[in-house]
Amino acid sequence: MNKHQPSFLLVDGMALLFRAFYATAVTGQYMINSKGIPTNGIYGFIKHLFTAVSTFKPSHVAVCWDMGSKTFRTELFPDYKGNRGEAPVELIPQFDLVKEVVASFDIPNIGLVGFEADDCIGTIANQMKSLANVSILTGDQDILQLLDEQISVILLKKGYGNYLVHTPQTFFEEKGITPRQMIDLKALMGDPSDNYPGVKGIGEKTALKLLKEYNHVEDIIANLDSLSNSHRTKIEQDLEMLRLSRMLAEIKCDVPVNCNLEEAGLKIEKDKALKKLMELELRGAKNLLPIEEAIIS
């Protein structure tokens, strides 16, 4: 990391919003305002956002969003994320309102129909890494494949202000593979949360062993004759799904989105931001903006 460059925090908006919503929804605390609109997810999102800003002190911030369930991945594999139910009715109105809140902070909202937030994050991170030290705030370990010398990942842990910060070095120490090999790891193992199977019968331990020896899915396929009978048979039976799973696992970093560094500068107009928070009747609205140094009075 270059200490003289700006620090750019890229936020996985859906990760923060869902985490905040479910943390309170489980006890039925939806914080419904006088218009009948639940605001618990928005409230928690703001707390997560500014707790991270206070902790990591970025000079620039942008938030990336999913823009619907249909993406190029569902075209490749219709069952992709097919195990996920509909969003709770209490969360649905908060999707658009939270973006309005982010806009009131003069923080860019970034998303593109047909792609996931991860793809926008990967694209912006790679655009910005020559201009700034990039940190990605998320709860999704898939993002770890983006790690490099100019990109770190801040994983949300339970509660507010609890993080696990990953660099390429810490990732290698934990897994014994490079961040890019995480794509191949997911291709071999599959991903139950995203609902694609990978190779049946191959778990993390075997996948890591194969990748440490052969580096890449295609190298494994090229050396099938060198594998044990059991591993070779499993891969041969699921060869097509293995290649498809790798396509599903890889975050696209060439999505047609962009972010202007100047527009992402963290400068919040206090009156404008408070007006939006009070409009939503968020209790303790003033206390949700704790970072005086980032606020224009």
Q: What is the pLDDT of residue 85?
A: 85
With 0.85 as the threshold, say if the pTM is over it.
Answer: yes
Q: At what angle do helices 239-249 and 229-237 cross, to 10 degrees?
A: 70
How many angstroms separate the first and last alpha carbons of the chain?
32
Instruction: Examine the pLDDT at 297 and tell me if it is beyond 60.
Output: no
Strand spans (E) along 88-150: 109-110, 133-138
Rounded percentage of the chain residues whose pLDDT exceeds 90? 88
The continuous run of DSSP H or E covering 138 comes out as strand 133-138
Quote the tokens at residue 44. Answer: 């928690």
**What average pLDDT does range 120-126 have in this prediction?**
98
Alpha-carbon gap, residue 12 to 143, rounded angstroms: 10
pLDDT in tens, 1-28: 667 799 999 999 999 999 999 999 888 8
